[in-house]
Amino acid sequence: MYLSGIVWGLALLCKANAFFLAFILGPYFIIFLLEQRMNKGDYKIKKPFLISLIAYPFIGLSIMILFWPILMQDFPTNIYKYFNYLLGRGFEGQNSWNIAPILYAVTTIPVVILAFLFAGIGIILYQMKCKKHIAFNSLLLLTLIIPVLRVSIPGARDFDGIRHWLEFIPAVALISTLALHRLISLIAEKMPKANHQIISLSVIFCLCFLPVTFWNIKNHPYQIVHFNALIGGLKGAQEMKLPDATDYWGISYRQGIYWLNKHAEEDSLIVTPIGPLIVFSMSHTDLRDDFKLLPYKNAGPGRDITAEEFEKEIASIDRHIYYMYVTRTDHYNEFTKKIDSQIPVFQVEVDGGIAMKIYKLK
């Protein structure tokens, strides 16, 4: 328990998501105690365990504070600022239930794994109905549900999609494996011959891994844009206007830079309104030396500038101008929204969708 408290503190140093372990392990512990009492009668917690349980949060928080130097500066003001930031950042969402996280969870998991997941949930619910492994099954369900639920409740902000609640993936893997194990056991019962078992398991293996493997090979290096066939891949997700149906990390900018190097006129001006620092960081090694990058503040989504004002600004510049951006719709400024329906001079297509566009403004 003491070692676990230290590891939890290290987890808090990495990401604030670790705070939500309390909402998973807390209910699980209560269910575990109830199950023990149901099976063993008068079940009591031993004193050493109780002491370690009480000390647990103090150990974790102490580790976080001691190994994060900025929290020790101006103590305890910076700790207050940190928790105030988390609360402010986490509760900037809409005042109603948000179903988008559930949609992302269902449409980003490979279809075959998703089928095993639902089958595994069915197995768990049946076992709990039969009063088997109640505590452990509850732990699996809590680990699956809580990360998605916490970004779905009224007021919670779910920004940048699934990557901020990836901690539900271990539960997806474990629950899916329950169904896979049950299927393998049934095959072993129905097909006692070893060669029949090998053939059946090979088919299952191919169904599970080959579609994902082929998708990765086909769409490399754009694995970040994956959506499954239920929504129609990236194309279907973009048609549904999901804000995270995009090349989030701007990998496609490299392809855009290669195209500009080959086709853009000398001394051209490159404007990147979304994720401009990605292009700026690559400009020293990949972009032609004669190009000039317009400072991102002149076109970024955070600047209060109208499309007309930006058009006047670029009209006064005596250069060829190219406008390059990844298709992250929630970061479109007014000018980007205006030209997005026009035909670009170059675009990067991935999985039927559009990852990045380049327009020639003049």
- State the DSSP H helix or E strand holding residue 71, giving kind and residue range, or none if neither: helix 69-72
Q: Are residues 22 and 164 in the same domain?
A: yes
Q: Within this chain, do residues 152 and 262 fall inside the same structural domain, yes or no?
A: no
> Are residues 54 and 146 part of one domain?
yes
Within a domain: 101: yes
Same domain, 47 and 134: yes
- Domain identity same for 6 and 142: yes
Q: Using alpha carbons only, give the angle 124, 125, 129 rounded to the nearest 5 degrees.
A: 115
Give the separation between CA 142 and CA 33, rounded to whole angstroms. Answer: 16
pLDDT one-digit tens code per residue, 14-59: 999 999 999 999 999 999 988 888 887 767 778 888 899 999 999 9
Cβ atoms of 269 and 322 within 8 Å: the answer is: yes
335 within domain boundaries: yes
Order across the sheet with 292-293: list the strands: 292-293, 269-271, 321-326, 353-360, 346-350
pLDDT of amino acid 330: 86
In a domain, 75, yes or no: yes
Query: Please, which residues have CB within 8 angstroms of residue 190's CB and are 6 or more apart in sequence?
Result: none
- In this prediction, residue 115 carries a pLDDT of 95
Structural domain contains residue 279: yes
Q: Which domain holds residue 152?
A: 2-178
pTM to 2 decimal places: 0.85
8 A C-beta contact, residue 264 and residue 316: no
Kindly state the percentage of the chain with pLDDT values over 70. 96
Contacts of 257 (CB under 8 A, 6+ apart): 279, 282, 286, 287
Q: Rounded to whole angstroms, how far apart are CA atoms 83 and 87?
A: 6
pLDDT of residue 303: 53
Residue with tokens 């809409």: 94
Which among 263, 260, 262, 230 is positioned nearest to 324, based on CA atoms? 260
Q: Range with the lowest mean pLDDT among 69-73, 82-86, 89-93, 264-268?
A: 89-93
Q: What is the DSSP string of 72-121?
A: HTTTTHHHHHHHHHHHHHHT-S-SS---HHHHHHHHHS-HHHHHHHHHHH
Helices 22-40 and 134-150, axial angle in degrees (round to 10) = 160
Q: What is the pLDDT of residue 255?
A: 95
Q: Are strands 321-326 and 292-293 parallel, antiparallel or unpaired?
A: unpaired
- Whether 358 has a pLDDT exceeding 70, the answer reads yes
Instruction: Check residue 301 and give its pLDDT.
Output: 46
Instruction: Place 262 in a pLDDT band, splitting at 50, 70 and 90.
Output: very high
User: Which segment of 66-70, 117-121, 329-333 scores lowest on mean pLDDT?
Assistant: 329-333
Tell me, what's the pLDDT at 163? 82
Q: Beta partners for 31?
A: none
Pairing assessment for the beta strands 269-271 and 321-326 based on DSSP bridges: parallel
pLDDT band per the 50, 70, 90 thresholds, residue 185: confident
Same domain, 174 and 258: no
Quick one: average pLDDT of 224-236? 94
Mean pLDDT of the 82-101 span: 87
DSSP single-letter state for residue 362: -
Average pLDDT (63-84) is 91
| Whether pLDDT at 298 is above 50 | no
Which of 131, 157, 178 terminates a domain? The answer is 178
In a domain, 224, yes or no: no
Of 178, 194, 213, the domain-final residue: 178
Distance CA 17, CA 11 (A): 8
- How many CB atoms within 10 Å of residue 33? 14
Q: Is residue 230 part of a domain?
A: no
Asked whether the predicted pLDDT for residue 339 surpasses 80, the reply is yes
Residue 315 maps to a domain: yes
Q: Please state whether the peptide bond connecting residue 221 to the residue before it is cis, i.e. omega within 30 degrees of 0.
A: yes
Which pLDDT value is given to residue 172?
96
* 9 shares its domain with 150: yes
Q: Given pLDDT bands bounded at 50, 70 and 90, which one contains residue 218?
A: very high
The backbone torsions φ and ψ at residue 270, rounded to the nearest 5 degrees and listed phi first, read -110, 125
Count of the separate structural domains present in the chain: 2
- What's the mean pLDDT in 223-227? 92
pLDDT bracket for residue 246 (50, 70, 90): very high
CA distance readout (Å), 280 to 250, 251, 261, 362: 12, 13, 15, 22
Domain end marker among 159, 178, 197: 178
Per the CB < 8 A criterion, the answer to whether 64 and 12 are in contact is: yes
Do residue 266 and residue 160 come from a single domain? Answer: no
Per-residue pLDDT of 132-183, as tens digits, reads 999 999 999 999 999 999 999 998 888 777 888 889 999 999 999 999 989 8
The pLDDT mean for the chain works out to: 89
Give me the pLDDT at residue 257, please: 96
Q: What is the DSSP letter of 201?
A: H
Q: How far apart are CA 225 and CA 247, in angstroms?
A: 6
Contact present, 29 and 139 (Cβ < 8 Å):
no
156 part of a folded domain: yes
